[in-house]
Amino acid sequence: MYKVLVVEDDVMMSDMLSMYLTEEGYDVKQAFDGKQGLQLIDQFMPHLLLLDLMLPDMNGIVLCSEVRERSTIPIMILSMRSEVSERVSALKAGADDYLSKPFSMHELTARVEALIRRSIHMTTRMEESSSLQVEDDDTIMLDHERRQLIVRGESIETTFSEYEIMKLFITSPNKVFSRDELISAIRGFDSFVTDRSIDVHIVNLRKKIEQNPKEPKLIKTVWGFGYKYSPNDAATK
């Protein structure tokens, strides 16, 4: 049974989410402020976090950042705010999805299922191609169990979406991926994501794997189309 932690200070909304997800077969726990949410993440070890942005003791964006520092679990933001700037801020803080209130419970459960499914799914193909030489003495690897990148011997935390993008890149080095292909790979047909979201994830990945993010040699922009991962080019420079 998959576990979901709901961090929402509106008791009625929290109870409704908990009841609906429980009926869908999830093990659900509730927290009504940020401090309690952080405690339950360590105790409950959920497969997914549903996080409201408006909490009584801290800003939800701040909490999202703190969670991402200690965990790679998928984070879905639930908020009354629908501005693009709010969504971008949430993605930069480590969120994997953003759902504006009011929303359909059917859509919510579809997104929850998609995020958890992708979070726990590891294919044989990915395992066989989990490392590629980047430089003569450097290797980028995927740590499947912890869902981390191993970059030049160091463990690097990633968001759910960043990890999925990197898996795709490593599986198909030097292939040019359109933004639509990357959107499809990390979200599925019914989750919110935009071209701008992909660009944010790429910027964050470059900061984590490139020696000089301002002059990327690994994740390259193909202008007017998308991105490609070129480890062999980096090794020769």
pLDDT at site 204: 92
| 8 Å CB contact between 73 and 67 | yes
Helix, strand, coil percentages, rounded to 5, for the chain: 45, 25, 30
- Could you tell me which of 84, 78, 23, 28 has the C-alpha nearest to residue 50? 78
Distances (CA, A) of 119 to 28, 47, 101, 128, 179: 18, 8, 24, 18, 21
Residue 59, SS3 per DSSP: strand
- Identify the segments of the chain with pLDDT beneath 50: 122-138, 189-190, 235-237
- Which pLDDT score is estimated for 188? 52
**Closest by Cα among 190, 194, 181, 221 to 205:** 221
Q: For residue 171, which of 202, 132, 137 has the smallest C-alpha distance?
A: 132
Can you give the pLDDT at residue 233?
64
